[in-house]
Chain A
Amino acid sequence: MIRLTSVSKGFGALSVLRRLDLAVPSGQTLAVIGRSGTGKSVLLKCVAGLLDADAGSVRVGEDDVGEADARTLRRIRSRMGYVFQFAALFDSMTIGENVEAPLRREGVPSADARRRADEVLDRVGLADTRNSLPAELSGGMRKRAGIARAVVSEPEYLLYDEPTTGLDPVTTAVIDDLMLDLKQDLGATSIMVTHDIRSALRVADRVALLHEGRLHTEGTPREIRDSDDPLVRAFVEGKSELWPEESGPGR
């Protein structure tokens, strides 16, 4: 389970997360939607311990991320896969080496790491790109390689940062299918932050709308789809005129 209790995070005068409460039960996927600047990526980084929350607590399983020392944080992260918004593949490594990297870090022997990386690359449809450099791949392929790297060590927790943003509808569907398959196979507890409402409604068990750093509403995909809440309607229907003028992002 991942649980955020009254989490606040700001940067200087800018308050990004404001006493945010969220919980993701084990094995479920929570999609966090919201406009740009509402703190979705900051939320993920607080869960991963890449950013320290100013207040509140972030618990991953039994561990409190904010209280964790370096050793505990390494242990938490070793059970976690993080799919970065722009994949964050290491430029100087081939795709194969990128996917093997977490396994090498865990001390998995080279031959085993190579075999497991090949299996995962095959699964995300990138078996032919093992020896390519990240710069040689398209955006969608890089995202899939990023997912391959995040899941190669079969993590208990998966964090997706905008996994489908900027992709064409076909590639988005491929990534959605991949996330659904991984959810079924790994049973990981996942948080997916996204602008892509279709993807969120398709992949997630629950959807949370973040607004001005706070949880505005949360529900099943059906509840979100059928909601009368103007903010939810604005998001689901993609109509800016439904979005209250006084409540823009980051204010």
Chain B
Amino acid sequence: MRLTSVLAWIGRHATLLVALIGRSAEFIWSIGAAIGDVRTWVPLTAVQVRRIGIDSIPVAVFIALFTGIVLALQSSYTFTGIVPLYFVGVLVGKSIMLELGPVLTGLVLAGRVGANIAAEIGTMRVTEQIDALEMMAWNPVSYLVVPRVAAGILAFPIIVALALVAGIGAGWLTSISLLDLSTQEFVRGLRMFYAPFDLSYPLIKAASFGAIVAAVGALHGYHTKGGAAGVGRAATHAVVMSCMLILVFDALWAVILL
């Protein structure tokens, strides 16, 4: 009896997974098909860049500031007496640029932006506003989804670039004010293993995270069913799926690009 229950559970979830993959593939296809409708989505993208990008800067910078502070203090604690202290600059710079800047920002924005997109489009779905768009011969994907995905791709690298500056700046300020480290030593560490790719790598990751967060939020919003509870579920699923995909793509980029 227990075995059949387990098998039934596996079967149910496998079916749901296959349905989700199918729905996602169809959705990505519809986004691709809607890109040609530039007259619809281009004018709407600027508004979304402001909503997704500019409005997200404070929270991203806040996270980066404290990450920089903690990284400087923890690396100093780890290196004491063994590794020269200017390696604090190496660790703060490399960690923030290659990993923590884009990934932490991506995860935070998955919550802020992904949930927002899923809830907004989900509400439009359950209140028939998406049907109303279709009745006016608008393509809802061109009107609602493509501007948000484009804004995610454009805005996330800008937000991450600011987060990198804030994180490294906070690490530097912490080093010169709380540690026995001068600005010259910190910068020496920062430049020691620096390669120009260290700057393009997080921006590539950020653009992909922006696309993931916006597309996953839109996917779950677009297929919302069941009123307010359905909108809540869509937002939750969007955040969870975005976070998982960000971590998967983070590993994927490391394998491909490093």
A residues with CB within 8 A of B:
45, 48, 50, 74, 77-78, 80-82, 84-86, 88-91, 101-102, 105, 149
Q: How far is the CA of A32 from the CA of B165 in the complex (A)?
A: 64
Provide the residues of chain A in CB contact with B134, threshold 8 Å. Answer: 50, 77
Which of B96-104, B107-115, B123-131 interfaces with chain A?
B123-131
Identify which of A81, A84, A86, A105 contacts B137 (C-beta below 8 A).
A105
Could you say which residues of chain B place their CB within 8 Å of the CB of A149? 132
B138 at the interface (CB under 8 A from A): yes
Question: CA separation between A149 and B136, bound complex, in Å?
Answer: 10
Counting chain A CB atoms within 10 Å of each CB, the highest count among B124, B127, B136 belongs to B136
State whether B131 touches A78 (Cβ < 8 A). no
Does A86 lie within 8 Å of B127, measured CB to CB? yes
Q: Given the complex of chains A and B, what is the CA–CA distance between A32 and B136 in angstroms?
A: 24
Q: Which of chain B's residues has its CB closest to A71's CB? A: B137
Closest residue of chain B to A103 (Cβ to Cβ) is: B136
Roughly how many angstroms separate A78 CA and B134 CA in the complex, as a whole number?
10
Interface of B (DSSP majority class): helix
| Contact in complex: A50, B137 (CB < 8 Å) | no
> A77 contacts which of B128, B129, B136 (Cβ < 8 Å)?
B136
CB distance from A99 to the nearest CB of B (A): 11
Instruction: Classify the interface of chain A: helix, strand, loop or mixed.
Output: mixed
Bound complex: CA A221 to CA B257 (Å): 73
Count of B residues near A, CB < 8 Å? 12
Task: Please report the C-alpha to C-alpha distance between residue A149 and residue B133 in the assembled complex, in whole angstroms.
Answer: 12
B128, A84: Cβ atoms closer than 8 Å = yes
**Contact assessment for A80 and B132 in the assembled complex, using a CB-CB cutoff below 8 Å:** no
Q: List 15 A-B contacts (CB under 8 A).
A: A45-B131, A50-B135, A74-B137, A77-B134, A77-B135, A82-B131, A82-B132, A86-B127, A88-B128, A89-B129, A90-B132, A91-B123, A91-B124, A91-B127, A149-B132
A77–B132 Cα distance when bound, in Å, is 11
Chain B residues within 8 Å of A88, by CB:
127-129, 131-132
- Residues in B with CB closer than 8 Å to A74 are 137
**Chain B proximity of A69: nearest CB distance (Å):** 13
The smallest C-beta distance from A84 to any residue of chain B, in angstroms, reads 5
Inter-chain CA distance A86–B131, complex, in Å, is 12
Minimum CB distance partner of B33 in chain A: A70
In residues 118-167 of chain B, which contact A (Cβ within 8 Å)?
A: 123-124, 127-129, 131-132, 134-138
For residue B126, which residue of chain A has the nearest CB?
A86
Cα(A78)–Cα(B136), bound, Å: 6
Q: How far is the CA of A85 from the CA of B123 in the complex (A)?
A: 15
The distance from the CB of B23 to the nearest CB of chain A, in whole angstroms, is 16
Report the minimal beta-carbon distance from A190 to chain B, rounded to whole angstroms.
15
| Cβ contact of A102, chosen from B124, B127, B136, cutoff 8 A | B136
Q: Which of A78, A81, A90 contacts B129 (CB 8 A)?
A: A90
Which chain B positions have C-beta within 8 A of A89?
129, 132
Q: By CB atoms of chain A within 10 A, which of B123, B127, B132, B134 has the most?
A: B132
